[in-house]
């Protein structure tokens, strides 16, 4: 198989990258599961946007403060100043964000934000954005989306990427030659017992990067979300930070408020764990009743409905919440154009690390960062369209070496877990 650009992953970053590539290029997108089973679909709260230049300094400072000032400042500047352009694109594709009676965007607030700067669609903003991008993708004949197809390995030689080895939906192993390859494989939640992520997202791109000596960055920076619904479900259901931004309170076992709910995620998570230990409980309580009922119903219908199916009426009672793994701030090291340390290989979205988030991600910067730097990758690919080719090398790769795929993918999980554990120990010394 041959394609001009191979994109591995179909979350919002992979899709948006494809839509910004030249229309005369053949683009192949693959996804490990179905097209809607990615974490972009799960994002609830919203997406940050620079609503006016008067908010720039505050937005910049909030992002750095949440990231413990370990952020790449140029990346943060690029993200903030590119936000309006991204929103304009999304609206042109048909994305529906909350507007007031005059047709102006409505902004909400989340933890660690000093002002309202988050656009949203009810409490399913990620689904609205990603489904809009999926619909747009289907309008383009030059883009082919293949579901239930996994990346097994990259084809590399002398620090140049020539494409990837894939396991197709029928189990067959195929070599896919590509002028440029974009890794957009999402997060690492499948490595954890409690996570808001889909379980099939296990950091395959990180494992392959380690195998091929591709540079990584901040690999130990794993974010825990403070509030997920306490249950026995396989995937932890996230109770959006927007809920606390709109007035929800966190309570101990005696019904007493014990923390400022708008602390940065890592600090709030620490406070919740400390309270659980003090109370000898496996969760704390979140009270959504301080939010006016009409606003609660209109802004958070998905959360209300899910809690109802789990036996809780949030308009009448508190819900049990517990922290769970949520986001990976580290990843494959990229520059401001999303280029990796390997030629002809890019990485975008949660897979990549350009330093925007620092040590802790500010709420609702994930969708924005993913989209901004996905577009920059596409622009850079189009600008530098002079790929190195090596057909003899590609022909020499024997796919029969990939015999036990199940064990190979399990070994990838161990590689990533070991790397994160080792890096964490070094950081804590």
| Rounded CA separation 84/148 (Å) | 34
Distances 180 to 45, 98, 100, 345, 369 between C-alpha atoms, Å: 33, 37, 43, 6, 21
Q: What is the distance between the alpha carbons of residues 36 and 78, in angstroms, rounded to a whole number?
A: 28
Q: How far apart are CA 155 and CA 227, in angstroms?
A: 41
Residues 326, 163 contacting (CB under 8 angstroms): no
Which has the minimum average pLDDT: 111-115, 332-336, 340-344? Answer: 111-115
> Are the C-beta atoms of 151 and 100 separated by less than 8 Å?
no
Residue 175 confidence (pLDDT) above 80: yes
Which of 8 and 234 is assigned the larger pLDDT?
8
Which helix (H) or strand (E) segment holds residue 385: the answer is none
Cβ(324)–Cβ(228) under 8 Å?
yes
Q: Of the listed 244, 265, 361, 376, which one is catalytic?
A: 265
Contact 191, 414 (CB under 8 A): no
Q: What Å distances lie between residue 59 and 52, 65, 251, CA to CA?
A: 10, 10, 29
Q: Compute the distance between CA of residue 239 and CA of residue 318 in angstroms, rounded to an integer.
A: 12
Inform me whether the pLDDT recorded for 429 exceeds 80: no
pLDDT tens-digit readout, 2-54: 999 999 999 999 999 999 999 999 999 999 999 999 999 988 889 999 999 99
Per-residue pLDDT reduced to its tens digit, 134-156: 999 999 999 999 999 999 999 99
pLDDT value of position 352: 98
Least confident segment among 124-133, 248-257, 418-427: 418-427
Question: Would you state the pLDDT for residue 234?
Answer: 81
Tell me what percent of the residues of the chain surpass a pLDDT of 70. Answer: 100
339-354 mean pLDDT: 98
Q: What is the pLDDT of residue 383?
A: 96
Average of per-residue pLDDT across 161-189: 97
Kindly report the average pLDDT of the chain as a whole number.
Answer: 96
Characterize the bridge pairing of strands 173-183 and 2-8: parallel
Contact between 76 and 356 under an 8 Å Cβ cutoff? The reply is yes
**pLDDT classification of 385: cutoffs 50, 70, 90:** confident
393 CB neighbour count, 10 Å cutoff: 14
- In the predicted model, what is the mean pLDDT of residues 361-371? 96
Q: What is the DSSP code (8-state) at residue 106?
A: P
Inform me whether the pLDDT recorded for 189 exceeds 80. yes
Torsion angle of alpha carbons 263, 269, 270, 271, nearest 10°? 60
CB-CB contact of 242 with 208 (8 Å): no
Query: What pLDDT, on the 0 to 100 scale, is given for residue 295?
Result: 94
Q: pLDDT digits over 62-76, tens only?
A: 999 999 999 999 999
265 as an active site residue: the answer is yes
Q: What is the DSSP string of 145-156?
A: EE-S-EEEEEEE
* pLDDT tier for residue 290 given thresholds of 50, 70 and 90: very high
Residue 403: per-residue pLDDT: 87
């Amino acid at each position: 198989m041959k394609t001009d650009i191979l994109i591995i992953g179909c979350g919002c970053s992979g899709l948006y990258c494809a839509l910004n590539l030249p229309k005369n290029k053949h683009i192949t997108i693959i996804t490990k599961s179905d097209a809607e089973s990615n974490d972009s679909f799960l994002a609830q709260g919203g997406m940050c946007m620079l609503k006016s230049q008067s908010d720039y300094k505050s937005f910049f400072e909030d992002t750095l403060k949440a990231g413990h000032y370990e952020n790449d400042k140029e990346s943060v500047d690029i993200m903030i100043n590119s936000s309006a352009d991204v929103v304009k694109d999304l609206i042109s594709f048909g994305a529906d964000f909350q507007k007031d009676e005059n047709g102006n965007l409505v902004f909400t607030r989340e933890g660690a934000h000093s002002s309202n700067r988050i656009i949203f669609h009810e409490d399913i903003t990620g689904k609205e954005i990603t489904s809009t991008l999926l619909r747009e993708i289907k309008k383009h004949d030059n883009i082919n989306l293949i579901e239930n197809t996994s990346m097994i390995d990259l084809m590399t030689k002398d620090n140049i990427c020539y494409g990837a080895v894939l396991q197709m939906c029928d189990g067959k192993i195929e070599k896919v030659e590509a002028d440029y390859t974009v890794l957009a494989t999402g997060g690492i939640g499948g490595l954890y017992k409690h996570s808001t992520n889909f379980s099939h997202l296990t950091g395959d791109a990180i494992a392959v990067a380690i195998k091929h000596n591709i540079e990584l960055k901040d690999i130990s920076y794993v974010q825990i979300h403070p509030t997920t619904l306490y249950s026995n479900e396989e995937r932890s259901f996230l109770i959006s930070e927007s809920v606390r931004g709109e007035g929800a309170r966190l309570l101990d076992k005696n019904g007493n408020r014990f923390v400022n709910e708008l602390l940065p995620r890592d600090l709030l998570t620490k406070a919740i764990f400390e309270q659980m230990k003090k109370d000898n409980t496996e969760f704390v309580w979140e009270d959504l009743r301080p939010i006016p009922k009409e606003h609660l119903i209109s802004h958070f219908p998905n959360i209300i409905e899910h809690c109802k199916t789990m036996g809780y009426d949030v308009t009448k009672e508190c819900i049990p919440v517990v922290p769970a793994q949520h986001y990976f701030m580290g990843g494959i090291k990229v520059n401001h154009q999303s280029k990796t340390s390997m030629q002809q290989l890019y990485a975008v979205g949660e897979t990549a690390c350009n330093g925007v988030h620092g040590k802790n991600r500010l709420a609702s910067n994930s969708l924005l960062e993913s989209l901004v730097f996905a577009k920059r990758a596409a622009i850079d690919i189009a600008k530098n369209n002079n790929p190195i080719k090596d057909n003899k090398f590609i022909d020499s790769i024997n796919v029969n070496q990939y015999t036990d795929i199940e064990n190979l993918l399990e070994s990838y999980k161990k590689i990533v877990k070991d790397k994160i554990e080792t890096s964490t120990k070094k950081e804590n010394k």
